[in-house]
Amino acid sequence: MKYHLLGTSGLRVSETSLGTMTFGEDWGWGSSKDESRKIYDAYRDAGGNFIDTANVYTNGTSESLLGEFMAGHRDAVVLATKYTNAPPGKDPNAGGNHRKSMMTAVEASLKRLKTDYIDLYYLHIWDRITPVEEVVRGFDDLVRQGKILHAGVSDCPAWWVSRAITLAETSGRSPFVALQIEYSLLERTVERELTPMAKALGLSVVAWSPLSNGVLSGKYHGGGAAKDARMSSDMMAQFMPDKDLADRVVTVLKEVATEVAHTPARVALAWLYHRDVNVIPIIGSRKIDQLHDNLAAADLKLTPAQVQKLDEASHVSLGFPYDFLNRPFVRGFSSGGMWEAIETVG
């Protein structure tokens, strides 16, 4: 296992993160306590130290199990959890990005996790309501109180994240160090704004659903059954990618997998390690063999030709203004006819 610095911080995290949304069976799927412990121990034995959870995962059971599993070696774990989401109810303040939600959630998470600090605390999803200043100040207060060490952000637009980081830097407050987003061969629209922003601002990209809910393992290709899917069929329908895109990408993915004599899942994860920004995939496994297969992806080196083959199969339009700016006519005028010469230098 290799390690990376998390964003602009000095914190060392493993190149693969263990997702624990499957820890607990409260949602009707997932892993039992015993199986979850085996997966956790196997990940730790492999050198992994970056654990990802959230306050709502399996109704809090994921955090509670991790609190037990970390006993005796808590400081050796880089623990990430999240706030914002809450089950539907009648309390308008139960969820959201606001300060009351943040402070209530962090205390509950600390209790379930049986710890007095969280290494990385994420805003889980943008609520489109709370002022950015309130979020930045809240995170900074938690850092100063020692309840969290670093702040991160998940599932937010690039303009909002950029604004938050700028506000933090200009006001002497703690900036975000990690950006958690869905990123895979079947979700590349993040390359329009989010990954370029992460690269420019020094954020580590933590990729959730890097196998697109198992689609990139190839198990659904050609009419494969979803008998071992980790979500219900209704929930899966909300997260499944476009079928034509999936069929095209998985076909090419299997071709490359045959060339390198590895599984499609390994190749799909390896593709993420070949991006031009620091990407840390979150692997969520319900079985030990899945975990070992996924961990092996970090050592798989694809050739430039294989990466290009996968890039072309999964290509998405960058849209305006990027497609416009890439037109030869526009590039020629914007550079005084010197685009090629300038590009070779920079």
List, as one string, the DSSP characters of 198-232: HHHHTPEEEEESTTTTTGGGTTTTTT---TT-SS-
Contact 115, 67 (CB under 8 A): yes
pLDDT above 80: residue 70:
yes
Average the pLDDT over each of 78-82, 116-120, 137-141, 336-340 and give the range with the smallest value: 336-340
Catalytic residue among 40, 43, 57, 121: 57
> What is the average per-residue pLDDT within 161-186?
98
Distance CA 90, CA 67 (A): 29
Quick: pLDDT tens for 118-132: 999 999 999 999 999
Does 220 participate in catalysis according to the annotation?
no
**Of 118, 133, 146, which is closest to residue 55 (Cα–Cα)?**
118
Can you give the residue ranges of every domain in the chain? 3-303, 316-346
Residue 239 pLDDT level (bands cut at 50, 70, 90): low
Query: What are the phi and psi torsion angles at 52 (to 5°)?
Result: -115, 130
218 CB contacts (<8 Å, ≥6 apart)? Answer: 224, 250, 253, 254, 257, 263, 264, 265
Contact 2, 15 (CB under 8 A): yes
Provide the token pair at 186.
């079947």
Provide the token pair at 282.
């979150």
- The enclosing H or E element of 112 equals helix 99-113
Q: Tell me, what's the pLDDT at 149?
A: 98
pLDDT above 50: residue 346:
no
Quick: pLDDT tens for 284-342: 888 888 899 999 999 999 999 999 999 999 999 999 999 999 899 998 999 898 888 88
Q: Tell me, what's the pLDDT at 223?
A: 57
**Of 278, 280, 107, 284, which is closest to residue 198 (Cα–Cα)?**
278
Provide the token pair at 288.
């030990």
Residue 243 pLDDT level (bands cut at 50, 70, 90): confident
Domain spanning 3-303: which superfamily? Answer: NADP-dependent oxidoreductase domain (3.20.20.100)
